Amino acid sequence: GNSVTQMEGPVTLSEEAFLTINCTYTATGYPSLFWYVQYPGEGLQLLLKATKADDKGSNKGFEATYRKETTSFHLEKGSVQVSDSAVYFCALPNQAGTALIFGKGTTLSVSS
Amino acid sequence: DAGVTQSPTHLIKTRGQHVTLRCSPISGHKSVSWYQQVLGQGPQFIFQYYEKEERGRGNFPDRFSARQFPNYSSELNVNALLLGDSALYLCASSLGPRGSMNTEAFFGQGTRLTVV
């Protein structure tokens, strides 16, 4: 079945540093891929998505490219801010399309 | 526009008790899913309902049940609560055809359940 493996944290960065959070997937076909973010004490928010190979999803300075050849969807941001401190989840649908499968999450802490 | 709303936001129950959690999807969304998120882990799928029918079930015991109403709101019920049921329970709604999760899902703020 479909699965996702996500880089484990925590990741600790200084403000304005470059961020990469790795995500690789195993899937039948070419499902949509998602990054969700969870701020402390809150639910999940969709950060960005990509629906087909070579698509680049982007939002709030974050980017991720759907790479079919490496089965990856790494999250990047050129200059992180303290307000980016949160837990980030990579996700994709299960084979039946009835549920999202999430990675274990990567905690990002950004200090000023 | 109202997002996905869940109630209650927090509750504390005793082992062996029963709990009902509620969710209202975004207007126009016919698919509702439930997830359990244990502290420090990613959300785990419990159920998906689309047009009032169960379309998917995760690996959870029969103590967990759910239903969807004609207005597309949903309830998650958990019987005979165990300490291990303590978690954040998240509801998500989506517009995908036939409940497809290849379109984005919108999550509520969750219900924090503590079992003592």
d(CA B78, CA B80): 7
Contact B97, B44 (CB under 8 A): no
Does the CB of B26 have a partner CB in chain A at under 8 Å? no
Reported as a single tens digit per residue, the pLDDT across B7-58 is 999 999 999 999 999 999 999 999 999 999 999 899 999 999 998 999 999 9
The pLDDT score that the predictor gives to residue A56 is 97
d(CA B23, CA B6): 4
**Residue B91 to chain A, least CA–CA distance (Å):** 9
Higher pLDDT, A9 or B43: B43
Omega of the bond leading into B8 within 30 degrees of 0 (cis): yes
Helices (H) and strands (E) in chain B, counts: 0, 11
Query: Which sign does the torsion angle of CA B40, A91, A1, B51 carry?
Result: positive
Task: Search chain A and give the residue with CA nearest B111.
Answer: A43
Would you give the end-to-end CA distance of chain B in angstroms? Answer: 37
Contact B48, B59 (CB under 8 A): no
Q: What is the mean pLDDT of chain B?
A: 93
Mutate one of A98, A101, A104, A107 to test the B interface: name it (highest B CB count within 10 A).
A98
Contact A65, A55 (CB under 8 A): yes
Residues of A in contact with B4 (CB under 8 A): 43
The pLDDT score that the predictor gives to residue B66 is 98
Confidence of residue B103 (pLDDT cuts 50, 70, 90): confident
Instruction: For residue B25, give both structure tokens.
Output: 């999807």
Contact A7, A19 (CB under 8 A): no
Residue A111, pLDDT > 90, answer: yes
